[in-house]
Structure 1
Amino acid sequence: MGPSALEAVRARRSWSKVTDVAPTHEELVTFVSAAGRVADHSSLAPWRLIELRGDDRERLGRAINKSNGDKGSSSKPLRAPLLIAVVASYRKSDKVPRWEQEAVASGIAHVLSLVLDEAGWGVIWRTGHYTRSKAVAKAHGLKKHEELLGWLYVGGKPTGRLGRRKPVDARHHLSRMPQD
């Protein structure tokens, strides 16, 4: 039996450097199916993911540079062999506001990062001002009702000494409702 959800969450960390191996498309489908179980008011599924490998990363690098007014190609997307673009794909709803739909898409990204980490992959969620640029949106084929929330950079976990994460003191973030 694998680690509990609590153990997996406690062990999670961001991996800014990863190796050149990545999960296969088939493995990724399994991980996304699991992540798709996040809480989703009215089951709108207001999200989609875009898998970027190989030359896709070069195309993204060109779009990033274009959004910055630069020529050539940014090397940022080459930091991992697999990038997963996280897209909020908003649905019309009288019950579920836009912010809540974005929270669902963010939840997908976070749960997917946990599942990938628990399966042995190094993951970091990267963003930048260019995530909302026209050039980057066009490169991803985003529709008018969609926004890019960033990318999960995924690769192998390098061997060697790991950094330590500070424990979270929940007492600073958890309170009770005020009494009258």
Structure 2
Amino acid sequence: MEALTLLKTRNSAAKLCAPGPKDEDLEEIFAAASRAPDHSRLRPWRFLVVRGESLSALGELFATAAMQRNRELSEADCQRFRLQPLRAPLILVVIACIKDHPKVPVIEQQLSAGCAAHGALLAAEALGYAAIWRTGENAFDPVVHKGLGLESHEEISGFLYMGTREGSAKPLPEMLPTDFMKEWR
């Protein structure tokens, strides 16, 4: 796919099915992600790959965290959290690894992690897959952070659900540059 076409047509896919990216595809996805803007070459991000049986384990972690947030959660709601990771054959957990650096503020490191995530999304699309970037309560939950082995200087930038698009892409409205751009004088 031509680069500008990819950039202008990538679209989140809420419904995903198998197959998901294979190991060789993940190598390409991570190579693309590694080209994120990165002041001082800190590489302030890393990825966890969740697939197979680990998706169910992540669902259990989500349910445990939800029960910690709300002790009166119904069993149906707990089950909803358990099933969330099963919406895709593969999830990349994008983790911002914030470093203490005199020239690179936290926001730049968080944005670099976001750019790495976006690079992964674009690469997945270029390889014929589809994806959606999700956050929600679980991205910010200390129980989830601990369960995924995050350290105190790390935070979740998002969960990238990846697989094959089920159905057709939703139409996105065209935006004109004048919708979001203004000349500064």
TM-score, normalised with respect to structure 1: 0.91
Give every structure 1 segment of 4 or more consecutive aligned residues whose post-TM-superposition deviation is greater than 6 Å: none
CA distance in 1, matches of 2:86, 2:169: 22
1:44 is matched with: 42
- Please say if residues 38 and 104 of structure 1, whose CA atoms lie closer than 8 Å, have aligned partners that are also in contact: yes
2:70 is matched with: none
- Please say if residues 132 and 161 of structure 2, whose CA atoms lie closer than 8 Å, have aligned partners that are also in contact: yes
C-alpha RMSD of the superposition? 1.5
1:174 is matched with: 181
Letter in 2 for 1:34: A
CA distance in 2, matches of 1:161, 1:133: 33
2:8 is matched with: 10
Work out which of the residue numbers 54, 66, 85 in structure 1 matches 2:93. Answer: 85
The reply to whether residue 116 of structure 1 matches residue 124 of structure 2 is: yes
Superposed CA offset, 1:51-72 (max 9, x none): 0011211121112112211565
CA distance in 2, matches of 1:57, 1:117: 21
Aligned length: 175
- Structure 2 counterparts to residues 18-167 of structure 1, below 5 A: 18-69=16-67, 70=73, 74-158=82-166, 160-167=167-174
CA distance in 2, matches of 1:83, 1:170: 33
Letter in 2 for 1:30: E
- Please say if residues 11 and 169 of structure 2, whose CA atoms lie closer than 8 Å, have aligned partners that are also in contact: no
CA distance in 2, matches of 1:77, 1:139: 15
CA distance in 2, matches of 1:11, 1:107: 17
CA distance in 2, matches of 1:134, 1:162: 34
Stretches of structure 2 that go unaligned for 5 or more consecutive residues are 68-72
% identical equivalent positions: 33
- Please say if residues 22 and 155 of structure 1, whose CA atoms lie closer than 8 Å, have aligned partners that are also in contact: yes
- Please say if residues 22 and 81 of structure 1, whose CA atoms lie closer than 8 Å, have aligned partners that are also in contact: yes
CA distance in 2, matches of 1:141, 1:29: 23
Stretches of structure 1 that go unaligned for 5 or more consecutive residues are none
